[in-house]
Amino acid sequence: MNLLISTQSTVEFDGTYYYGNSVRAIWNRYHNYGDNCLLICHKIDVKKPSQDRIDDSVNIVIINKINTVKALISKYSKLNDAIAKKQVMWADLCIVHLPNENGYQVIKYCKKYNKPYMTVVCGCSWDALWNHGWKGKIMAPMGFYKLKKAQKNAPYSIYVTNEFLQNRYPTSGKSIGCSNVNITTGIEGVLDKRLNHIELANHNVNRVLKIGTAAAIDVAYKGQEYVIRALGLLKNNGMLYEYHLIGTGDDTRLRGIAKEADVEEEVFFHGALPHEKVLDFLDEMDIYIQPSKQEGLPRSMIEAMSRGCLCLGSKTAGIPELIEPKYVFPKGDVKEIARILSELSEEDFISQARINFEKAKEYDSRLLNDRRHSFICEFKNSCSHIM
């Protein structure tokens, strides 16, 4: 059986090899459901890769990235359409990650040639475009309509949220909520370590609380600037916090905002960290904050919860599904971030350590993999009369 996987992902190419952590994860998750498997993704040429090399056994089909109005009417769009048609005709089954322009082309040919397909809804098209400058705002209504239309009659769908994406982009077909995070939760000793961390912090009256965020630092909609500005407000009122950021990208813009807010000495940039060191980073933080204007269901927040961190987050996509309402703030609301931080008590840290540690167990990779596997098998079995 031939399986085609259409992704949103971009691989790095150094002229010889492909590199890409998300592509490797997607391949490992799905390729065993077909005897032969192809994976569609985008490519960016690099001199020095920043991700892990993709094994030669991963069969990649490169397709051009279409993310502007001009690109939609260019020769590349027609070329992508031809690639999508060819690969769908080869396939027996298709798994299509959305929102993505190439995914919509794959679905078009799945319908035309009666090829069974399943969608995986990874994010909100409206939020992704609306929070991406004025050009994104022009494209947002069309992006919203395309995802809405694609999902309306999708026969099988996996949503990475439990409620948000389902409500905004409903399907008449069968669906489940199943996050794409891949973490191990409930590790023995983690909660005790966190509670001890809180106790030591409370006995050290001079200790400055550490806030952390894991996200690309040169993507404006990730929202770190709002935390930095909130720390500036708090500093003016005599309250100091440290803000530690990990993630890829150029830190020039955020450093400028930190200088403007007079918190240069309180904001630290750590760059990208290997996954094993991310957990060590989270264990050092007192608070984790996800201030994004656009998300699916953030893996980094779930990882922070699995380490017993008190977590704050914006009212975006699946974030309110993870944490209690009192720790959720409107997108970009600097004053509300400052207010929540200023009112945190010892009881907040203790109770949220226990609550978040338990909540994270719902997203353990073993549980999610079993749930996803059962659903994909149901999808495959429903197609047996076609193949």
Q: What is d(CA 327, CA 341) in angstroms, rounded to the nearest whole number? A: 9
Q: Which residues of 74-102 are buried (b: 16+ CB within 10 A; e: fewer)?
A: eeebeebeebbbebbeebbbbbbbbbbbb
All structural domains of the chain with their residue ranges:
2-182+365-382, 190-362
Q: What is d(CA 65, CA 79) in angstroms, rounded to the nearest whole number? A: 11
Q: What is d(CA 247, CA 138) in angstroms, rounded to the nearest whole number? A: 29
Burial of 317 (0-12, 13-18, 19+ CB in 10 A): buried
Largest CA distance in the chain: 69
For residues 161 and 294, the answer to whether their CB atoms sit within 8 Å is no
> Which among 120, 146, 167 has a CA at the least distance from the CA of 379?
120
Reply yes or no on whether the pLDDT at 387 is more than 70.
no
Q: What is the CATH number of domain 190-362?
A: 3.40.50.2000
- Please state, for a pLDDT cut of 70, what percent of the chain lies above it: 96
Structure confidence at residue 133 (pLDDT): 76
Q: What is d(CA 104, CA 147) in angstroms, rounded to the nearest whole number? A: 8
For residues 233 and 338, the answer to whether their CB atoms sit within 8 Å is yes
Query: Distance between terminal CA atoms of the chain?
Result: 8
Tell me the pTM: 0.85
Residue type for position 361: K
| Residue 254: pLDDT band with limits 50, 70, 90 | very high
Three-state secondary-structure class, residue 8: strand
| Residue 9: pLDDT band with limits 50, 70, 90 | confident
Reported as a single tens digit per residue, the pLDDT across 262-319 is 999 999 999 888 777 899 999 999 999 999 998 888 889 999 999 999 999 999 989 9
Reported as a single tens digit per residue, the pLDDT across 32-91 is 999 999 999 888 888 888 778 888 888 998 887 755 555 454 555 677 788 899 999 999
What is the dihedral sign for C-alpha 52, 364, 308, 315? positive
Q: What is d(CA 224, CA 292) in angstroms, rounded to the nearest whole number? A: 8
| Residue 172: pLDDT band with limits 50, 70, 90 | very high
For residues 209 and 286, the answer to whether their CB atoms sit within 8 Å is yes
Query: What DSSP string runs through 27-69?
Result: HHHHGGGSSEEEEEEEEEE-SS--SPBPPTTS-EEE-----SH
Structure confidence at residue 110 (pLDDT): 96
Number of neighbouring beta carbons within 10 Å of residue 367: 14
Strands (E) in 99-199, as ranges, are 117-121, 156-159, 174-177
Q: Which fold has domain 2-182+365-382?
A: Rossmann fold (3.40.50)
**Comparing 2-182+365-382 with 190-362, is the CATH topology the same?**
yes
